[in-house]
Structure 1
Amino acid sequence: MKIMIVEDEALLALELELEVEAAGHVVVGTAASRKAAFDIIESSTPEFAFVDVHLSDGPSGIEIGRRLAEREVPFVFVTGNVKRIPEGFVGAIGAIEKPYTMNGLQNALSYISEKVTGDQTISPPPGLILAKSFQRQNDAS
């Protein structure tokens, strides 16, 4: 999968990039701001994204999530405060709460990869908070 990372903390972005690549995926871009994320969305057409809610230019991760949802790009929020995500998760599959473990991240990435490629039988791992709309889809399958 071609994955975009939106994270303003350089060390977390690098760790996430390494985990994504170790799992066999390609990182098409890393953004620390709304503008940089919009540029990646336009130029690289990601197939999935990890989006931090609060970036260097404020809580612009929500706007990025809306843009991804408009383009039908699946994504999850990665945040230290899940309560900052609006009800309905603006189209996100769900959220991974910081601090996360690398094992938890790998499990979430495996689940997301399977769901995006069409496996409807896999169960969500602990640590991945599903959006209610996605939970209903998951329960129906």
Structure 2
Amino acid sequence: MTRILVVEDEIFVATEIEHVIEEMGFNPIGIASDERSALALASEAEVALVDLNLRDGATGIGIGRILAQTHGVTVVYMTANPSQLGEGVPGTVGVLAKPVSEQELRAAVAYAVARRSAAEAEPPRRLQLFNWSPAAIPS
């Protein structure tokens, strides 16, 4: 069962995301509202949904980068301000612009899980993919 980390500081949003993950049959491993708590759960995560602006500031971009590049986590950003990501973050999948419907969230989670397992999957329409080859990821 895929282990999914939710990095979000708005508790109502985070618990709703966690509920959807459970309904889909995946294992939500926790809610992290800041960098410290996200990195504490990093070794347990396989997929992460990461907001940009958290309790400790605009740390989401860096958290996603560390999760993807250091821990091998499949990262999808979720934010109301996708332009903050510019061309994207090497090693991460893409960004889903908030607000998102439950259907869009389900589609993004399913895509991230499929992509992690190298299965063929069609990206959801509202998920803006980043175009990074594995060679572009610093080691």
| Partner in structure 2 of residue 3 of structure 1 | 4
Report the structure, 1 or 2, having the larger helix content: 1
Report how far residue 91 of structure 1 moved.
2.1
Unaligned runs of 5+ in 1: 135-141
Distance 1:125 1:117 in 2: 17
| Aligned residues between the structures | 131
| Partner in structure 2 of residue 77 of structure 1 | 77
For the residue of structure 2 that corresponds to 1:114, the secondary structure is: helix
Determine if the alignment matches structure 1 residue 117 to structure 2 residue 117.
yes
Distance 2:7 2:27 in 1: 14
Report how far residue 86 of structure 1 moved.
4.2
- TM-score normalised to the size of structure 1? 0.87
| Partner in structure 1 of residue 126 of structure 2 | 127
Q: CA RMSD in A?
A: 1.3
Deviates more, 1:46-55 or 1:78-87: 78-87
Identity %: 34
Kindly provide the amino acid, as one letter, of the partner of residue 72 in structure 1: G
| Partner in structure 1 of residue 136 of structure 2 | none
Distance 2:40 2:109 in 1: 24
Unaligned runs of 5+ in 2: 134-139
CA displacement 1:32-76 (0-9 Å, x = unmatched): 01111111114xx21110000110111101121121122111110
CA contact (8 A) 2:90 2:132 kept: no
Distance 2:79 2:109 in 1: 16
Runs of 4+ in 1 over 4 A off after TM superposition: none
Report how far residue 85 of structure 1 moved.
1.1
* 1:45-84 alignment, distance < 5 Å: 45-69=44-68, 70-84=70-84
For the residue of structure 2 that corresponds to 1:83, the secondary structure is: helix
CA contact (8 A) 1:65 1:90 kept: no
Distance 2:62 2:33 in 1: 13
Distance 1:77 1:46 in 2: 15
Deviates more, 1:77-86 or 1:16-25: 77-86
- TM-score normalised to the size of structure 2? 0.88
